[in-house]
């Protein structure tokens, strides 16, 4: 989080506002006080000066009433004497007396050169005409001083204006006094602001410290740490805010714990799902993918993050836009390569927000390769069963129809037809019996009756039985150990396995061929091999010979009466004995069938002796 500078802090704003409010109050009070004081001082000054001027005007009136002529030197001398006596202070700058000429007859203040001359000042003429006193205040630009000037009429006993007193007085003392008072106010304001700033900082710190603490706590909470709380030092609004902040902290901690628990559950579910899960945003860009999905697609989440789901799942041939996913519902995706066959099933669902508007998609993908393989095998199995039954049934129908048409009366043909019908019937019975046996084994309905068997002696007995009935052109070679090997097996089931394997070896062995039998122990297992020198098979078909109805050479196998289920039954029986069976073959050089069986432990063997 960006650090707040001092000039942007609430504390400074609080102090500035506090000072501005105080300054505003002081200025309002000062302006009002100074204004009123100025009015009062001016009023006192003018009242005092008016009284003095009125006294001078009365004295001048007495001088004018002595009936002296205007050129009487005694009148001028007396008026000058009165003006000089009156102008005994610095406030009076100029006094002038005019007769009704109007002529200037006396003056104090530097205008003596105009004494005896007629004046044309409208202000003087106006007083003679109207008999009114004229007063005003103006600023002398030369001395930058406020002056109070005016004219007073001098009247006789009849009220006639016989002269005019013109005066100019300085108000400098008044405004010097006001300036001094303003200076006192300014110094007081500065002192008040300084004290206020100090107090404001202290008060602001008291207010902002809890806020600063809450800010630090919020920063700590942003990191996911909800263990600390704000220290509450009062019950005012800030204290209540701190209490509310601590309550919020507790609720956020609980909410985070709940969310984290749900997240862990979801993460655990997604991680332990066998199916892959891919989540996208509303535009179809991938935002989440679990590990099973990464394994199925062969790409990590970092590689596909932000890519389109349509591109990653290669759905461009099935849909043009991500919006079609909702309508698709589910689809099969073929991601097979030359090295690996892979089919995925993708189920799509829509994610909605709190306003029930589409906010993204969830895709659940699963590997259905084995399911499709099983389904294909089931279809092939049904097809093979139908084919295997149809061939003998068709043959039997043809021969029976021939017999019905009269062939049964022919002593040469009838026995042969009946013999063929009998063989085909036996073949169908063998096929049905093998199918029933496989079905029981698939449903675990076949129980094993196991017993302790010394395998070398038992294997020799099985080989001897085949050797008595084999073709003279086929040679048996035995490589069996002299030591005894004990196994815990169901003799009937293992005999059936050996019969199927040895029968196949004899069927596919050429004239003069050799069948080799071997048995030896490997740690806790016994391995048996039966190898022929027959036609062999291609390498890509070796693992398929244990599939039901699979034949490398179908025409020859069918002519030999095989059902195509012998090795499938053998595999099921060996698996039931916790062993393993497989084949090794090379085209044109023969085939070897190998299987293993668990050897009995020495302790268990001793318990059965």
pLDDT tens digit sequence for 344-379? 788 888 877 777 777 788 888 887 777 777 666 666
Measure the CA–CA gap between 291 and 88, rounded to whole angstroms: 112
pLDDT tens digit sequence for 223-237? 777 777 777 777 777
Residue 517 has pLDDT above 90, yes or no: yes
Average per-residue pLDDT in the chain? 77
Q: Going by DSSP bridges, is the β-strand pair 145-155/161-170 parallel, antiparallel, or unpaired? A: antiparallel
Measure the CA–CA gap between 40 and 48, rounded to whole angstroms: 12
**Which of residues 367, 389, 424 is at a domain's end?**
367
Residue 55 has pLDDT above 60, yes or no: yes
pLDDT tens digit sequence for 391-404? 677 777 777 777 77
DSSP state of 542: G
- pLDDT recorded at residue 165: 80
Residues 463, 562: one domain? yes
Mapped onto helix, strand or coil, the DSSP state of residue 133 is: coil
38-69 b/e (C-beta count within 10 Å ≥ 16 → b)? eeebbeebbeebbebbeebbebbbebbeeeee
Residues 595, 513: one domain? yes
Mean pLDDT of 299-312: 82
- CA dihedral (538, 543, 545, 551) in degrees, to 10, reads -40
Domain membership flag for residue 235: no
- pLDDT recorded at residue 492: 84
Question: Which residues span the domain enclosing 134?
Answer: 11-178
Residue 119 has pLDDT above 70, yes or no: yes
DSSP state of 451: E
Mean pLDDT of 170-188: 83
Residue 608 has pLDDT above 60, yes or no: no
Measure the CA–CA gap between 400 and 395, rounded to whole angstroms: 9
Residues 565, 500: one domain? yes
496 vs 274, residue with greater confidence: 496
pLDDT tens digit sequence for 327-340? 667 777 777 776 77
- pLDDT recorded at residue 555: 46
Measure the CA–CA gap between 608 and 451, rounded to whole angstroms: 10
| Helices and strands (H and E) in the chain: how many | 16, 17
Domain membership flag for residue 199: no
Mapped onto helix, strand or coil, the DSSP state of residue 365 is: strand
- The sheet carrying 276-281 orders its strands as 286-289, 276-281, 358-367, 343-352, 330-334
Is residue 453 within 8 Å of residue 489, measured between CB atoms?
A: yes
- CB contact set of 456 (below 8 Å; sequence gap of 6+): 480, 481, 482, 483, 484, 485, 519
- pLDDT recorded at residue 77: 73
- pLDDT recorded at residue 210: 76
Residues 416, 313: one domain? no
Mean pLDDT of 240-264: 82
Q: 261 has which bridge partners?
A: none
Residues 291, 418: one domain? no
Please give the structure tokens belonging to residue 299.
Answer: 């790409």
354-393 b/e (C-beta count within 10 Å ≥ 16 → b)? eeeeeebbebbbbbbbeeeeeeeeeeebeebbeebeeebe
Domain membership flag for residue 297: yes
Domain membership flag for residue 474: yes
7 vs 437, residue with greater confidence: 437
Measure the CA–CA gap between 448 and 451, rounded to whole angstroms: 9
Domain membership flag for residue 146: yes
**Which of residues 407, 424, 442 is at a domain's end?**
442
Q: Going by DSSP bridges, is the β-strand pair 276-281/286-289 parallel, antiparallel, or unpaired? A: antiparallel
Residue 575 has pLDDT above 50, yes or no: yes
Strands (E), 131-185: 134-140, 145-155, 161-170
Residues 169, 34: one domain? yes
Domain membership flag for residue 256: no
Tell me phi and psi for residue 199, to 5 degrees: -65, -40
282 vs 460, residue with greater confidence: 460
Residues 363, 379: one domain? no
**Which of residues 143, 178, 213 is at a domain's end?**
178
Per the structure, the count of domains in the chain is 4
- pLDDT recorded at residue 528: 93
Residues 394, 287: one domain? no
Residues 376, 277: one domain? no
Is residue 58 within 8 Å of residue 50, measured between CB atoms?
A: no
Residues 425, 574: one domain? no
Residue 557 — very low, low, confident or very high, per pLDDT cuts 50/70/90?
very low
Mapped onto helix, strand or coil, the DSSP state of residue 167 is: strand
Is residue 93 within 8 Å of residue 65, measured between CB atoms?
A: no
- CA dihedral (580, 586, 592, 598) in degrees, to 10, reads -20
Residue 1 — very low, low, confident or very high, per pLDDT cuts 50/70/90?
very low
Residue 461 has pLDDT above 80, yes or no: yes
Q: Output the 3-class SS for 389-414.
A: HHHHHHHHHHHHHHHHCCHHHCCCHH
Identify the sign of the CA torsion 210, 216, 220, 221.
Answer: positive
- pLDDT recorded at residue 519: 92
Domain membership flag for residue 408: yes
* Residue that is written with structure tokens 């044309």 in the block: 120
113 vs 569, residue with greater confidence: 569
Mean pLDDT of 526-540: 86
Residues 343, 491: one domain? no
CATH number at residue 45: 3.30.450.20
Domain membership flag for residue 227: no
Tell me phi and psi for residue 503, to 5 degrees: -60, -45
Residues 288, 379: one domain? no
Mapped onto helix, strand or coil, the DSSP state of residue 340 is: coil
Residue 522 has pLDDT above 70, yes or no: yes
Classify residue 282 as exposed, middle or buried by CB count within 10 Å of its CB (0-12, 13-18, 19+).
middle
Mean pLDDT of 80-85: 71
Residue 559 — very low, low, confident or very high, per pLDDT cuts 50/70/90?
very low
Among 358, 352, 367, 363, smallest CA distance to 309 is for 363
- pLDDT recorded at residue 603: 52
CATH number at residue 565: 3.30.565.10
């Amino acid at each position: 989080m960006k650090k707040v500078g001092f000039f942007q802090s609430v504390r400074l704003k609080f102090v500035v506002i506090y000072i501005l409010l105080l300054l505003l109050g002081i200025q309002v009070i000062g302006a009002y006080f100074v204004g009123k004081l100025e009015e009062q001082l001016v009023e006192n000054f003018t009242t005092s000066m008016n009284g003095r001027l009125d006294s001078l005007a009365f004295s001048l009136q007495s001088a004018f009433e002595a009936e002296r002529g205007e050129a009487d030197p005694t009148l001028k001398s007396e008026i000058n004497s009165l003006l000089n006596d009156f102008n005994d202070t610095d406030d009076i700058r100029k006094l002038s007396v005019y007769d009704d000429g109007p002529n200037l007859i006396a003056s104090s203040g530097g205008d003596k050169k105009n004494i005896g001359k007629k004046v044309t000042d409208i202000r003087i003429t106006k007083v003679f005409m109207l008999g009114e006193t004229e007063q005003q205040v103006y600023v002398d630009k030369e001395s930058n001083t406020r002056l109070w000037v005016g004219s007073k009429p001098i009247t006789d006993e009849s009220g006639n204006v016989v002269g005019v007193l013109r005066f100019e007085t300085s108000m400098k003392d008044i405004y010097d006094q006001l300036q001094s008072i303003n200076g006192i106010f300014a110094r007081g304001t500065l002192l008040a602001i300084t004290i206020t700033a100090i107090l404001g900082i202290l008060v602001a710190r008291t207010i902002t410290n809890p806020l600063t603490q809450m800010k630090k706590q919020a920063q700590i909470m942003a990191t996911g740490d909800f263990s600390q709380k704000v220290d509450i030092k009062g019950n005012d609004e800030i204290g209540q805010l701190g209490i509310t902040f601590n309550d919020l902290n507790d609720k956020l901690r609980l909410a985070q714990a709940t969310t984290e628990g749900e997240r862990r559950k979801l993460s655990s579910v997604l991680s332990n799902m066998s199916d892959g899960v891919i989540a996208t945003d509303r535009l179809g860009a991938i935002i989440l993918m679990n590990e099973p999905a990464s394994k199925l697609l062969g790409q990590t989440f970092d590689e596909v993050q932000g890519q389109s789901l349509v591109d990653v799942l290669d759905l461009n041939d099935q849909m043009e836009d991500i919006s079609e996913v909702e309508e698709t519902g589910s689809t099969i995706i073929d991601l097979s390569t030359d090295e690996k066959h892979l089919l995925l099933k993708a189920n799509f669902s829509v994610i909605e927000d709190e306003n029930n508007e589409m906010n993204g998609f969830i895709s659940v993908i699963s590997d259905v390769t084995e399911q499709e393989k099983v389904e294909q095998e089931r279809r092939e199995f049904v097809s093979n069963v139908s084919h295997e039954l149809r061939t003998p049934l068709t043959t039997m129908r043809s021969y029976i129809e021939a017999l019905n048409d009269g062939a049964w009366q022919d002593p040469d043909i009838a026995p042969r037809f009946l013999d063929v019908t009998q063989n085909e019937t036996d073949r169908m019975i063998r096929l049905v019996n093998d199918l029933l046996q496989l079905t029981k084994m698939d449903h675990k309905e076949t129980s094993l009756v196991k017993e302790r068997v010394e395998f070398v002696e038992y294997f020799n007995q099985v080989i001897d039985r085949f050797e008595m009935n084999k073709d003279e052109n086929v040679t048996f070679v035995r490589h069996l150990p002299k030591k005894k090997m004990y196994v815990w097996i169901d003799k009937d089931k293992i005999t059936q396995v050996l019969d199927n394997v040895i029968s196949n070896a004899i069927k596919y062995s050429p004239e003069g061929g050799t069948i080799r039998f071997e048995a030896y122990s490997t740690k806790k297992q016994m391995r048996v091999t039966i190898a022929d020198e027959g036609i062999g098979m291609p390498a890509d078909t070796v693992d398929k010979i244990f599939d039901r109805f699979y034949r490398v050479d179908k025409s020859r196998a069918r002519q030999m009466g095989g059902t195509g289920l012998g090795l499938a039954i053998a595999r099921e029986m060996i698996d039931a004995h916790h062993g393993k069976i497989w084949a090794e073959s090379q085209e044109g050089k023969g085939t070897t069938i190998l299987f293993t069986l668990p050897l009995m432990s020495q302790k268990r063997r001793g318990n059965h002796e």
